Amino acid sequence: MRNYLLKAGFLAFFLVLVITGAFAQTVTLDNAIRGATEEVANNLRRGNRIAILSVRSNSYRMSNYLVEELTNTLVNQRLFTIVDRAQLELIQEEMQFQMSGDVSDASAQAIGKLLGAQAIITGTFDSIGDFYRFRVRVIEIETAAIKVTYSANVYGDAVVQSLMGVTSSAPAAAAAAPAPGNTVQSSIAHVDGMKPVKKTPARPGNFELKQGSRIRMPIDMKTFHTVAVASLESLKYPVDSEGNGFIMFTIKGNRWWLQMRLCYWHDEYWYEYIGSDGLEANPALNRIHKNYPSLIDRVDVTISKNYNKR
């Protein structure tokens, strides 16, 4: 009986350690990205040419965001040569794969050879219970060997939920998010819960974050939501998804698109860059098409004008 109690006590203690350890290792999305790139930096030969191929998830926006952030962080390390996204997009079209889908090791190796890369980075981002699991691995092109693996549990905070298209606090409720430009029903203003977390730009003061200043504080959140949705509809900018204090929308041209997240709370509102195509965006260098400021300004003027009429 004594041995049984000792064994049971040891098992309970072990489970506590495991559970505590799991929670201790849960990090923010930005920290997970930094952790992945540090692992790459510590295990790959300096000067290697690397292609960041894809990150599979249920959301195109999250996949695109992770590929862009991994790219920007590795570029800023100045340790490797990173394949330009334009080259990668040409290969995407030729080989008919998407950054949000599965890519086999054999296909990754073939793509790497076409790009002249020494290594390919792929990853996954999956909902697991109350958090998300972010996994990254690096495949050496010459040998097809897996050179680096990294994984982390990521909090399902407001940033992650918005990128995943989740409107509730539970990651398990996530469904496949609509692609940019696909309109979804927009009807509920969420005024309870946590304030949206601001995006951390690649560098201070760059185009990824623009603070709104045309509306006097405090903001009536229900009114702001109603006005913002109606204003975006009047501009013919589709609402892709929305949640607690944010609205995701897309501006489309003939050969380009721009996706933004409008965040609002009682004491402020702001615009966050999510992704684009055809605008030559490079957050790490703070570069984007010259018309970008006027596009956001048009949205802000329309919303503020309609809100201030109330």
User: What's the CA angle centered on 110, arms 107 and 116, to 5 degrees?
Assistant: 140
Indicate if the pLDDT at residue 99 is higher than 80.
no
For domain 178-308, the CATH architecture is 2-Layer Sandwich (3.30)
Q: Can you tell me the distance from the alpha carbon of 221 to that of 226, in angstroms, rounded to the nearest whole number?
A: 9
Specify the fold of 2-155: Rossmann fold (3.40.50)
- Mean pLDDT, rounded, for 259-284: 91
Q: How crowded is residue 26: how many other Cβ atoms within 10 Å of its Cβ?
A: 16
| 152 phi and psi angles, rounded to 5 deg | -155, 150
Contact 57, 63 (CB under 8 A): yes
Tokens of 24: 């201790």
Handedness of CA 131, 132, 138, 144 (dihedral sign): positive
Between 225 and 187, the higher pLDDT residue: 225
Biggest alpha carbon–alpha carbon distance for the chain: 77
- In terms of C-beta density within 10 A (0-12 exposed, 13-18 middle, 19 or more buried), how is residue 222 classed? exposed
pLDDT tens for 44-97 read 999 999 998 888 888 888 888 898 899 989 988 899 999 887 777 666 665 555
What are the Cα distances from residue 161, in Å, to 30, 100, 131, 155? 14, 17, 11, 9
Three-state DSSP class for 137?
Answer: strand
Domains 2-155 and 178-308 share a fold: no
Hey, where are the domains in the chain? 2-155, 178-308
Question: How many other CB atoms are found less than 10 A from the CB of residue 278?
Answer: 13
Give yes or no for residue 179 having a pLDDT over 80: no
Band (174; pLDDT cuts 50, 70, 90): very low
**pTM flag (> 0.75):** no
